[in-house]
């Protein structure tokens, strides 16, 4: 039995009960977030939900801790850019981006 | 299980060894207990285990004292008096007590804080590269998911956790290129008595050492990682003696690093519990011989009272459970066991300080606060030119420690860089008003309206 | 010599230095260790009724603009972002309209915004507000940085971690310095800008300044894009500010920051210097913010902080010479408006030190007014 999920449009598999972060690492992905100011790549760091460095967007929901969240069948996981709110809102079709001002600080 | 039950005799926060022991003991004496954890399983970090169906031939070799876990888990699962609430994040505890979670408040007459610890890491150039993980993080990844952080791994830092981490990674198939312990370990020889009265600890250590030899992991003491190199992920680490001599570059794809564990006590500090500064610069809640904190009916067990190993945690959980239940039988023996373990832990603590030389290897652009991307140079400017003479002011002026993790990761470093690591600075680094981020909707009380 | 390294002390130091004085600043704690480090950095004219405080605020807005133009502002995140005050009901709206008309007569720019135009200012504002007023002069700074940068620019010598234990006077009763826990510091003039602790300093001079702490909480969210563009608050805030009730009042003041988090104030209560978290205050602030911006419901609060405003019973600061001791001046009791009022306060103190006619009438701020009330 395995779990199928996608990461930035790539199909991947994982074992049920694995965390999103573990599943990504097992598939050779080492980073899944870029920072707000420097645009630097980040991935797993503390592994126990304390450091919030492994934040990722799952099914349009930003700021999910990859080390804690269990990966589920059909999950759409995507690289989180910056604070995660602009891109994730676009994916959800939500109305948080209508003015496009989210880019101003970058 | 009923979340809406208005009142419990005991709320135990954290389902690791200490919390499980407290819950099982209290419920065994007829008390109504709620055991709350942010994760999805019993066991906490120490007894972290993969989901059912996920296994590997070497899994049993990662487990120490597993029978303790099985016994505690069986007692909890068999008890009708324990409500276990997984995936509940506790963000504050109000006097009285109201335990505030992201899924609504829980009322309890007594609280046992068993929230364990998190790892201390000090910054060095490149430590924010993917591939650099905490030692405990590497272990959690392995124990809970059977996944390695990399194939060619360096283990470094200081403290007793490094040995099992290196051994586990090696057993699971990683090439462990070296274990670099920052401190020379000769000091244990000066304290022979606690070691002799704790034979189980000695055997455990010997067991690890044997496995090491078998897997040929080179161990060096007196070395620290002074730099991590790589473009978009880790490609190599540079290790050296704290003074920078003996420099060596080791190509690798993962670094597991840890400078010891720090008690996770923000819930207790915000409530107003007294605290104590330990020899390694960590802050723990102050407890009496019955695990009582300075707040009546509020207990701290296991690592919240200072890092002291799994046996201590289990003993202290049982002590708190008995004391709350009002049963003093067996308390004496438990206290003796706890005291023996704590004496040993205090010795170990003195042997694993963070070498102050970590500061010498920072460059002005080394990220100190990973969340807010605050470089060492900005902190120096605040201290030297803007009158920031303490942790709080450095945080205010630079935003260091103000991000998602609320300074859990960089707090120790900021305390050292700002005020030279005075007790006031170290305490300021341990305090945070919310133990977890909480959605405005939950804070607004909508969780209660919706139920 | 200025007692207090908060924003008021920093402004007094800056303008005194510019008037030609050699300045030292002494504080028992660090820079911005009291109210200055615990506020949102509001530079508001919108919440002030016509009168001396508004005059001081108007002059301050001008000075903040000048400081920013000097290049100092980049160091403290100066944003001339404007404020939007929204009214929940038609009667709130008409009260706000009358309030704004009086302000306009005093020189404040206040533009009426009809209900259906509110979204042009704040696209994520909840539906259903009766209308609002737009105050383009409202601005914001990062208060701790503003304090630190003004102190830096003043060139003052700083004695931090040095608590004042007494005033030194000469035979004729004039001040000649202060005694601190780290020794005596001589000075010709002493400015009491000790905020919450200014009553204690005044007492050392034998004067009485009834400064009391008025507690407030501010919620800080996770970093967000610039979804909230201005300072947005409800018309009820103005009456909360003006109230003298000791019990808890709260009305949401919501604003984004250049670094990402949204700040949500403001609660007010007089409970002494008690830092015990008030979950009732936090809950009310959260609920009011979500009512105003529904999308905030799912946004995380990462922390909150608690601060104390130095409150004087008539809601006006005390700025000017002490009634008893020659050479001693007070600049304190700015309550929650100290950041906004700081530069004009500093300028006023500098003018009084030199003996020039100040830009703003100093009469209403006379520190002696409280003793006169007592005597009467």
Q: What is the DSSP letter of A60?
A: T
Distance from CA of C256 to the nearest CA of A (A): 12
Check if the beta carbon of residue B244 is closer than 8 Å to that of residue B224: no
Place of tokens 């703003």: C360
Which among B201, B266, B256 has a CA at the least distance from the CA of B14? B266
At B149, list the tokens: 């952080």
Which CATH superfamily groups domain C83-136+212-311? D-Amino Acid Oxidase, subunit A, domain 2 (3.30.9.10)
Q: Could you tell me if C304 lies within 8 Å of chain B, comparing CB atoms?
A: yes
Q: Residue C239's pLDDT band (boundaries 50, 70, 90)?
A: confident
Q: Per the domain annotation, does A106 fall within a domain?
A: no
Q: Has residue B361 got a pLDDT over 50?
A: yes
Residues composing chain A: 106
A97: closest chain C residue by CA = C227
At B123, list the tokens: 């910054």
Residues composing chain C: 376
Taking the C-alpha atoms of residue C221 and residue A56, their distance in angstroms, rounded to an integer, is 18
**For residue A52, which residues of chain C lie inside 8 Å, CB to CB?**
none
Contact B54 A40 (CB under 8 A): no
**Residue B7, pLDDT score:** 87
Which residues does B351 contact at the CB level (< 8 Å), separation at least 6?
Answer: B183, B185, B187, B188
Strand partners, A10: A7
Q: Which of C5, C221, C286 sits opposite B387 (nearest CB)?
A: C5
Contact A17 B53 (CB under 8 A): yes
Q: Has residue B446 got a pLDDT over 70?
A: no
Instruction: Give the predicted TM-score (pTM) of the model.
Output: 0.92
Q: Residue C373's pLDDT band (boundaries 50, 70, 90)?
A: low
**For residue B129, which residues of chain A lie inside 8 Å, CB to CB?**
41
B131: closest chain A residue by CA = A30
Q: Could you tell me if A46 lies within 8 Å of chain B, comparing CB atoms?
A: yes
Contact C283 B397 (CB under 8 A): no
The angle, 0 to 180 degrees and rounded to 10, between the axes of the packed helices B376-385 and B411-419 is 30
Which part of chain B has CATH 1.10.10? 362-430
Contact B137 A45 (CB under 8 A): yes
- Using CA atoms of B250, B251, B253, B258 in order, give the dihedral in degrees to the nearest 10: 10
Least confident of B62-66, B227-231, B294-298, B372-376: B62-66
Distance from CA of B28 to the nearest CA of A (A): 30
**For residue A85, which residues of chain C lie inside 8 Å, CB to CB?**
224-225, 227
Which CATH superfamily groups domain C2-72+143-211+314-375? FAD/NAD(P)-binding domain (3.50.50.60)
**Residue B204, pLDDT score:** 63
Where in the sequence is the domain holding A36, given as residue range(s)?
3-91
Q: Which of C160, C297, C304 sits opposite B387 (nearest CB)?
A: C160
Q: What angle do CA B50, B51, B54 make, to 5 degrees?
A: 75
Taking the C-alpha atoms of residue A64 and residue A88, their distance in angstroms, rounded to an integer, is 11
Q: Has residue C264 got a pLDDT over 50?
A: yes
Q: Which of B393, B440, B446 sits opposite C32 (nearest CB)?
A: B393
- Using CA atoms of B242, B247, B253, B258 in order, give the dihedral in degrees to the nearest 10: -10
**Residue B369, pLDDT score:** 98
Check if the beta carbon of residue C293 is closer than 8 Å to that of residue C153: no
Q: Which of B390, B404, B438 sits opposite C30 (nearest CB)?
A: B390
Check if the beta carbon of residue C259 is closer than 8 Å to that of residue C140: no
Taking the C-alpha atoms of residue B156 and residue B163, their distance in angstroms, rounded to an integer, is 10
Phi, psi of C259, rounded to the nearest 5 degrees:
-85, -5
**Residue B193, pLDDT score:** 52
Taking the C-alpha atoms of residue C198 and residue C6, their distance in angstroms, rounded to an integer, is 12
Q: Which of A19, A48, A63 sits opposite B136 (nearest CB)?
A: A48
Choose which CATH entry (3.30.9.10, 3.50.50.60, 3.30.750.24, 3.40.1280.10) describes domain B121-259: 3.50.50.60
At B86, list the tokens: 């997984």
Of chain A residues 7-36, which have a CB less than 8 A from chain C? 36
CB half-sphere exposure, C324, CA atoms < 13 A: 13
**For residue C123, which residues of chain A lie inside 8 Å, CB to CB?**
98-99
Q: Could you tell me if C221 lies within 8 Å of chain B, comparing CB atoms?
A: yes
Q: Has residue A44 got a pLDDT over 70?
A: yes
Task: Give the CATH number, domain containing residue A67.
Answer: 3.10.20.440
Q: Is C272 left (phi over 0), alpha (psi -120 to 50) or beta?
A: left
Which residues does C372 contact at the CB level (< 8 Å), separation at least 6?
Answer: none
Phi, psi of A77, rounded to the nearest 5 degrees:
-105, 135
What ipTM, to 2 d.p.?
Answer: 0.93
Distance from CA of B253 to the nearest CA of A (A): 10
Q: Has residue B202 got a pLDDT over 60?
A: no
Which part of chain B has CATH 3.50.50.60? 8-118+262-350, 121-259
Structural domains counted in chain A: 1
**For residue C279, which residues of chain B lie inside 8 Å, CB to CB?**
92, 94, 100
Q: Could you tell me if A101 lies within 8 Å of chain C, comparing CB atoms?
A: yes
Q: Could you tell me if A78 lies within 8 Å of chain B, comparing CB atoms?
A: no
**What does the pLDDT look like over C192-202, one tens digit per residue?**
999 999 999 99
State the pairing for strand pair A55-58/A41-42. unpaired
Q: For the sheet containing B224-229, what is the strand order?
A: B224-229, B236-240, B248-251
Choose which CATH entry (3.40.50.2300, 3.40.1480.10, 3.50.50.60, 1.50.10.100) describes domain B8-118+262-350: 3.50.50.60
Q: Residue B309's pLDDT band (boundaries 50, 70, 90)?
A: very high
Contact C30 B388 (CB under 8 A): yes
**What does the pLDDT look like over C99-110, one tens digit per residue?**
999 999 999 999
Contact C260 A86 (CB under 8 A): no
Q: What angle do CA A67, B369, B89 make, to 5 degrees?
A: 40
**What does the pLDDT look like over B312-322, one tens digit per residue?**
999 999 999 99
| Average pLDDT rounded to a whole number, residues A18-32 | 97
**For residue A18, which residues of chain B lie inside 8 Å, CB to CB?**
51, 54, 145, 147
Q: Which of B393, B403, B434 sits opposite C33 (nearest CB)?
A: B393
Q: Is A31 helix (H, G, I), strand (E, B) or coil?
A: coil
Q: Could you tell me if C300 lies within 8 Å of chain A, comparing CB atoms?
A: yes
**What does the pLDDT look like over C110-138, one tens digit per residue?**
999 999 999 999 999 999 999 999 999 99
Q: Which of A17, A25, A31 sits opposite B51 (nearest CB)?
A: A17
**For residue B137, which residues of chain A lie inside 8 Å, CB to CB?**
44-48, 67
Chain B contact partners (≥3 CB pairs within 8 A): A, C
Q: Is C66 helix (H, G, I), strand (E, B) or coil?
A: helix
- Cβ contacts below 8 Å, chain A against chain C, sum to 36
Higher pLDDT, C287 or C208: C287
Q: Per the domain annotation, does A31 fall within a domain?
A: yes
Which among C290, C306, C307 has a CA at the least distance from the CA of C298? C290
Structural domain boundaries of chain C?
2-72+143-211+314-375, 83-136+212-311
In this structure, which topology does domain B362-430 adopt according to CATH?
Arc Repressor Mutant, subunit A (1.10.10)
Taking the C-alpha atoms of residue B363 and residue C315, their distance in angstroms, rounded to an integer, is 49
Residues composing chain B: 451
């Amino acid at each position: 039995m395995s779990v199928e999920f996608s990461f930035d449009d790539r199909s991947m598999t994982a074992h049920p009960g694995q965390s999103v972060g573990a599943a990504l690492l097992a598939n050779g992905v080492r980073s899944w977030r870029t920072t707000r100011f420097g645009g630097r790549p980040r991935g797993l760091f503390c592994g126990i939900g304390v450091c919030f460095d492994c934040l990722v967007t799952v099914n349009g929901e930003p700021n999910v801790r990859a080390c804690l969240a269990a990966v589920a069948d059909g999950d759409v996981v995507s690289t989180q850019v910056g604070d995660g709110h602009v891109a994730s809102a676009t994916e959800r079709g939500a109305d948080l981006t209508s003015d496009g001002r989210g880019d101003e600080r970058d | 299980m009923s979340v809406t039950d208005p009142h419990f005799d005991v709320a135990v926060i954290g389902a690791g060894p200490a919390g499980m022991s407290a819950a099982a003991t209290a419920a065994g004496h007829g008390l109504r207990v709620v055991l709350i954890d942010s994760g999805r399983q019993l066991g906490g970090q120490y007894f972290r285990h993969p989901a059912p169906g996920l296994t590997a031939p070497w899994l049993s070799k990662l487990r120490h004292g597993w029978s303790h876990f099985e016994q505690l888990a069986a007692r909890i699962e068999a008890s009708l008096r324990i409500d276990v609430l997984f995936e509940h994040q506790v963000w504050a505890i109000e006097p009285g007590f109201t335990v505030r979670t992201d899924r609504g408040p829980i009322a309890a007459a007594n609280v046992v804080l068993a929230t364990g610890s998190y790892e201390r890491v000090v910054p060095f150039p490149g430590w924010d590269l993917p591939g650099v993980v905490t030692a405990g993080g590497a272990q959690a990844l392995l124990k809970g998911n059977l996944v390695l952080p990399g194939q060619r791994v360096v283990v470094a830092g200081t403290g007793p956790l490094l040995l099992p981490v290196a051994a586990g990674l090696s057993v699971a198939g990683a090439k462990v290129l070296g274990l670099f312990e920052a401190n020379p370990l000769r000091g244990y020889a000066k304290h022979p008595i606690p070691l002799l009265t704790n034979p189980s600890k000695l055997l455990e250590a010997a067991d690890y050492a044997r496995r090491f030899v078998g897997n040929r992991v080179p161990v060096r003491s007196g070395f620290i990682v002074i730099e991590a190199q790589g473009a978009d992920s880790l490609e190599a680490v540079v290790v050296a003696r704290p003074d920078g001599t003996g420099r060596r570059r080791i190509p690798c794809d993962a670094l597991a690093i840890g400078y010891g564990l720090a008690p996770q006590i923000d819930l207790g500090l915000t409530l107003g519990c007294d605290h104590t500064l330990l020899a390694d610069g960590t802050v723990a809640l102050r407890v009496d011989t019955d695990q009582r904190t300075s707040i009546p009916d509020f207990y701290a067990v296991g690592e919240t009272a200072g890092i002291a190993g799994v046996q201590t945690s289990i003993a202290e959980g049982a002590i708190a459970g008995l004391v709350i239940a009002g049963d003093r039988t067996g308390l004496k023996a438990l206290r003796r066991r706890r005291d023996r373990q704590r004496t040993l832990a205090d010795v170990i603590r003195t042997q694993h300080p963070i070498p102050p030389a970590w500061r010498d290897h920072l460059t002005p652009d080394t990220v100190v606060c990973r969340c807010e991307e605050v470089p060492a140079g900005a902190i120096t400017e605040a201290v030297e030119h803007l009158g920031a003479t303490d942790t709080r002011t450095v945080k205010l002026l630079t935003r260091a420690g103000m991000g998602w993790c609320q300074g859990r990761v960089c707090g120790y470093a900021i305390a050292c860089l700002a005020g030279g690591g005075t007790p006031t600075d170290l305490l300021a680094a341990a305090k945070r008003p919310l133990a977890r981020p909480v959605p405005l909707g939950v804070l607004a009380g909508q969780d209660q309206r919706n139920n | 010599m200025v007692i207090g390294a908060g924003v008021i002390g920093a402004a007094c130091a800056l303008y005194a230095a510019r008037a030609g004085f050699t300045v030292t600043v002494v504080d028992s704690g660090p820079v911005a260790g009291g109210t200055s480090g615990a506020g949102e950095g509001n530079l508001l004219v919108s919440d002030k009724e016509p009168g001396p405080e508004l005059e001081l605020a108007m002059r301050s807005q001008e000075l903040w603009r000048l400081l920013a133009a000097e290049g100092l502002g980049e160091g403290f995140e100066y944003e001339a972002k404007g404020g939007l005050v929204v009214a929940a009901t038609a009667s709130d709206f008409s009260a706000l309209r009358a309030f704004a008309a009086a302000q306009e007569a005093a020189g404040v720019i206040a533009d009426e915004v009809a209900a259906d135009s509110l979204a042009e200012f704040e696209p994520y504002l909840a539906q259903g507000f009766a209308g609002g007023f737009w105050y383009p002069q409202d601005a914001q700074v990062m208060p701790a940085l503003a304090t630190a940068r003004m102190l830096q620019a003043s060139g003052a010598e700083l004695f931090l971690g040095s608590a004042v234990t007494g005033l030194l006077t000469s035979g004729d009763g004039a001040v000649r310095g202060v005694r601190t826990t780290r020794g005596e510091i001589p000075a010709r003039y002493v400015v009491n800008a000790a905020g919450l602790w200014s009553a204690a300093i005044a007492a050392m001079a034998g004067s009485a300044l009834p400064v009391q702490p008025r507690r407030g909480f501010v919620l800080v969210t996770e970093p967000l894009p610039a979804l909230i563009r201005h300072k947005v608050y409800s018309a009820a805030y103005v009456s909360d500010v003006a109230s003298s009730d000791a019990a808890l009042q709260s009305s949401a003041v919501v604003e984004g920051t250049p670094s990402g988090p949204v700040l949500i104030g403001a609660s007010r209560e007089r409970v002494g210097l008690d830092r015990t978290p008030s979950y009732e205050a936090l809950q009310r602030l959260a609920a009011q913010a979500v009512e105003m911006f529904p999308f905030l419901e799912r946004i995380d609060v990462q922390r909150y902080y608690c601060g104390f405003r130095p409150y004087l019973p008539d809601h006006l600061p005390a700025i000017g010479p002490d009634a008893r001791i020659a050479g001693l001046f007070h600049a304190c009791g700015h309550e929650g408006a100290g950041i906004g009022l700081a530069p004009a306060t500093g300028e006023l103190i500098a003018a009084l030190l030199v003996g020039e006619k100040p830009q703003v009438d100093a009469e209403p701020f006379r520190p002696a007014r409280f003793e006169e009330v007592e005597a009467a």
